[in-house]
Amino acid sequence: MFSSKEEFKEAFAKNLESETGKTIEQATEQDAYHVLSQMVRGRLVQKWKETEQSYQAAGKKQVYYFSMEFLMGRLLGNNLLNMGALNVVEEGLIDLGLTLPILEESEADAGLGNGGLGRLAACFLDSLASLGLAGHGVGLRYRNGMFTQRFVNGYQVELPDHWLEDGYAWEVRREEEAIEVSFGGEIESVEDKNGDLHFTYKNSQRVRAVPYDIPVVGDQEKAVNTLRLWSAEPTEEDLLAKAQIEQAYGNYIGHQRHLEEITSFLYPDDSNEEGKKLRLKQEYFLVSAGLQNIVQKYKDLDLPWSDFSKRIALHINDTHPALIVPELMRILMDVEGLGWEEAWTITQSSVSYTNHTTLSEALETWPVEVIRTLLPRIFMIIEEINERFCQSLWEQDPGDFDRIAKLAIIADGNVKMAHLSIVGSHSVNGVARLHTEILKNREMKHFYEAFPERFNNKTNGITHRRWLLHANPSLAELITNTVGEEWKREPRLMKQLLSYREDGAFLDELHHIKQHNKENLAQWIEKDHGISIDPNSIFDVHIKRLHGYKRQLLNALHIMHLYNELKANPGIDMTPRTFIFGAKAAPGYYFAKKVIKLINTIAEVVNQDPVTKDTIKVVFMEDYSVSLAEKIIPATNVSEQISTASKEASGTGNMKLMMNGAITLGTMDGANVEIHEEVGNDAIYTFGLSSEEVLSYYHTGAYDAKEMYEGDQRIRRVVDQLFHYSPFSKGDTTFHELYHALVTNNDEYFLLKDFNSYVEAQKEISHDYANRRKWNEMSLMNIAHSGRFSSDYTIENYANEIWNMSGAKLLNG
């Protein structure tokens, strides 16, 4: 992109002057960021156009990844990396007295996602472009992304995230491709002379959907794909009506706000489906705008409808875009005039679905009345799909009413979005081997029995470009210097590092890189949180959404336990530890917010107590985000992946941390099982109940938390500290709910049951860390085996086995 450092410097200074009228010395960091990002975008445009033209010319199959969330984080550094311009720009900026990492801080994180599901979508886009596959994201341009988290008196407070405030360098508004989406009204059907029904809408409300495109730059600029985010705006008619109202009444009644509301914010609760009407509006808006646009482009190709699914794959990221099924049927039948059978074949063969959770409270259902009034025609089609589906079940197995009742799409006055997604797709996948097995054998057992060929596993992955090459450049450089460049394109080649397992000098180098990263993080924490931490302590990291099943409370109870041990016996031999947390709680999730308050309280106590402060430190970092993760992960020694077995579908933080040389402390859950399989018993700490044990306890109801509490002195001591007077409770009732969740309400997530094995595993870690050589060897094992979890492989598997994209590189091994 820039042929030399000198060329870059000259171009940068020139652009700075023409855009801001300032010299390098006068420019602010914000000015410099702005100018640099504009330059990068400008240089991408050509390649962006060429990519699209080359896809068209080659008649390539296009995959559209529909997702309510894309958690992209910052783009400047990553784009420069993939364009191969990072070094030139970094060095050029240094010559000019600037540094790239500081400029990067001026970019707002695009936080258009809650957590794992949204970040996975972002990693997938990176891999699609890097493999040169024609894969694009379809999402919503929320004006407020994930809320900003602040702590006030130890409690989480949410502030709106105005990420677009200073403009967003990477988006391009495509006014000319705007379309309309309809809501509500009544449907009238008219029969033509052939007896075919035609549907017209009366009194429906129309909203304008305007696309904003963001370029997705692949490795070596192999391709520049598109993330298309739709924004809701009033139609021209609406604006005219508004003007008339204003003229007549001198004021405006808020109609426009109502329409724009659809893309005003991201729902921040990923754990509890609330069934809010606005959320359904968002889902339909995404699906309808995205699909109308895709169908229009397909029609421009002038191909028969029977080729649709050869040229287009439509993927739904969880059930949130499940209305793609009835909406595609509607477009094909009502707008394009196809018959039901033909439309259904096209729909089923183009749509595929990924499930990301088995938590029943997060599964989407919508009351029939809500869908019927908001989307009358869509509801008619869902009813028809359901009718025909139940009929086919009856034909397969006449008289089995029970099975039909279990599998029906509409039941008890609700539409089940997972059922709609399974029935309307040709592929259903889980996100880690264990998760897929649980879907097949338990949660979706009856569907699996009816359509076994539809079910498959695609273990999640992460992009090694953002999470290793960009986040941890010194480790990436060491790998390259050791095994050559090829691992960047074939991450499994990192396995070659295994031959350095016994190489003391190499292990020392690994150690120094980790230490250096820890020092950087320590400086950042000192600056931002005013807490001084010891880079020689174990950095023990728990970063993910706050949720009961993720068991941040178990981690907290263990810290309380260590505190008690140290206070009782100050001379005890314990490797110093820094516990680092990062987590947002859903605003209405009372329990999760209490856990945040507890951890902040523990931090206050242990960080100040003269007996404990040099041995244990606790830091809860505010406002966890993609960019914060990029700072924490390279500095981590211990990766906490301690979900109740069977509950975490996959996890992806576990993979990022492994790739950066952290050792997993985890249950046999989600992708931890596959991490364990890769690294073997000696480079991971596992503990706790197995998923079968957990599921069987749920089934039999045989677990008795009170018995655990009463029968174990260590457990009783920490649990009582939540209820009775203690340095943490200080005698008030703040943590009583946590006590009740554990004791009175029978400890839904088995914290007490797993407590002792967790404490033992932690003790082992404390002991092993003191053996520097052993620890570094374990760290090496993790890095060397992490290539398997590159999302490039995951995407190759999706492309080959789900999307049938010819030309996707075949896996080797």
Among 421, 552, 650, 797, binds ligand 26V (CB under 6 A): 650
CB of residue 354 to ligand 26V, shortest distance in Å = 7
Catalytic, 656? Answer yes
CB of residue 279 to ligand 26V, shortest distance in Å = 6
Pick the catalytic residue: 74, 143, 208, 356?
A: 356
Residues 6+ apart with CB under 8 A from 520: 631, 635
358 binds ligand 26V (CB under 6 A): no
Cβ pair 219, 489 in contact under 8 A: yes
The string of DSSP codes covering 707-737 is HHHHH-HHHHHHHHHHHSS-TTTTTSSTTHH
Pattern 312-331, binding to ligand 26V, x per CB under 6 A?
Answer: ------x-------------
Pattern 55-94, binding to ligand 26V, x per CB under 6 A?
Answer: ----------------------------------------
459 binds ligand 26V (CB under 6 A): no
CB of residue 121 to ligand 26V, shortest distance in Å = 9
Q: What is the footprint of ligand 26V within residues 410-449 (CB under 6 A)?
A: 431
233 binds ligand 26V (CB under 6 A): no
Catalytic, 299? Answer no
**Residue 102 or residue 278: which is nearer to ligand 26V going by CB?**
278
Among 630, 648, 674, 678, binds ligand 26V (CB under 6 A): 648
SS3 state at 425 = coil
CB of residue 666 to ligand 26V, shortest distance in Å = 12
**Residue 117 or residue 450: which is nearer to ligand 26V going by CB?**
117
How many alpha carbons fall within 13 Å on the CB side of residue 738?
31
**Residue 71 or residue 722: which is nearer to ligand 26V going by CB?**
71
How many residues lie near ligand 26V (CB under 6 A)? Answer: 22
Q: Of 649, 645, 654, whose CA–CA distance to 749 is shortest?
A: 645
Pick the catalytic residue: 41, 136, 454, 656?
A: 656
Cβ pair 205, 185 in contact under 8 A: yes
Cβ neighbours, 10 Å, residue 483: 17
- Parallel, antiparallel or unpaired: strands 685-686 and 110-112: unpaired
Catalytic, 356? Answer yes
Torsion-angle region of 353 (φ positive above 0: left; ψ -120 to 50: alpha; else: beta): beta
User: How are strands ordered across the β-sheet holding 410-411?
Assistant: 365-367, 414-416, 410-411
Catalytic, 652? Answer yes
Pick the catalytic residue: 652, 667, 686, 794?
A: 652
Which two three-digit tokens encode residue 397? 């197995």
CB of residue 283 to ligand 26V, shortest distance in Å = 9
640 binds ligand 26V (CB under 6 A): no
Pick the catalytic residue: 34, 544, 594, 597?
A: 544
The stretch among 10-18, 116-124, 251-259, 594-602 that binds ligand 26V (CB under 6 A) is 116-124
120 binds ligand 26V (CB under 6 A): yes
Among 270, 283, 630, 678, binds ligand 26V (CB under 6 A): 270
Among 92, 376, 670, 787, binds ligand 26V (CB under 6 A): 670
Cβ neighbours, 10 Å, residue 102: 12
Catalytic, 644? Answer no
d(CA 149, CA 159): 6
Among 612, 652, 766, 791, binds ligand 26V (CB under 6 A): 652
**Residue 429 or residue 612: which is nearer to ligand 26V going by CB?**
429
Q: Of 283, 361, 349, whose CA–CA distance to 317 is shortest?
A: 283
Among 649, 694, 708, 738, binds ligand 26V (CB under 6 A): 649
Amino acid (1-letter code) at residue 502: E
**Residue 651 or residue 688: which is nearer to ligand 26V going by CB?**
651
d(CA 804, CA 314): 12
d(CA 412, CA 457): 31
The stretch among 31-39, 109-117, 332-340, 440-448 that binds ligand 26V (CB under 6 A) is 109-117
**Residue 51 or residue 672: which is nearer to ligand 26V going by CB?**
672
Q: Which residue is nearest to ligand 26V (CB)?
A: 116
**Residue 181 or residue 649: which is nearer to ligand 26V going by CB?**
649
115 binds ligand 26V (CB under 6 A): yes
SS3 state at 313 = strand
**Residue 21 or residue 275: which is nearer to ligand 26V going by CB?**
275
User: How are strands ordered across the β-sheet holding 638-641?
Assistant: 616-621, 577-582, 538-543, 638-641, 663-666, 685-686
**Residue 555 or residue 672: which is nearer to ligand 26V going by CB?**
672
User: Dihedral angle at the C-alpha atoms of 552, 558, 561, 566, nearest 10 degrees?
Assistant: -120
269 binds ligand 26V (CB under 6 A): yes
Q: Which residues pair with 457 in a beta bridge?
A: 430
Cβ pair 620, 670 in contact under 8 A: no
Which two three-digit tokens encode residue 589? 């999730």
267 binds ligand 26V (CB under 6 A): yes
Among 460, 762, 776, 779, binds ligand 26V (CB under 6 A): 460
User: Dihedral angle at the C-alpha atoms of 581, 583, 589, 590, nearest 10 degrees?
Assistant: 30
Q: Of 117, 477, 505, whose CA–CA distance to 320 is shortest?
A: 117
**Residue 109 or residue 273: which is nearer to ligand 26V going by CB?**
273
- CA 21 to chain centroid, in Å, comes to 40
Cβ pair 787, 47 in contact under 8 A: no
Which two three-digit tokens encode residue 203? 């009194």
651 binds ligand 26V (CB under 6 A): yes
Torsion-angle region of 162 (φ positive above 0: left; ψ -120 to 50: alpha; else: beta): beta
Which residues contact ligand 26V by CB under 6 A? 114-117, 120, 267, 269-270, 273, 279, 318, 356-357, 362, 431, 460, 648-652, 670
Residues identified as active-site: 356, 544-545, 550, 652, 656
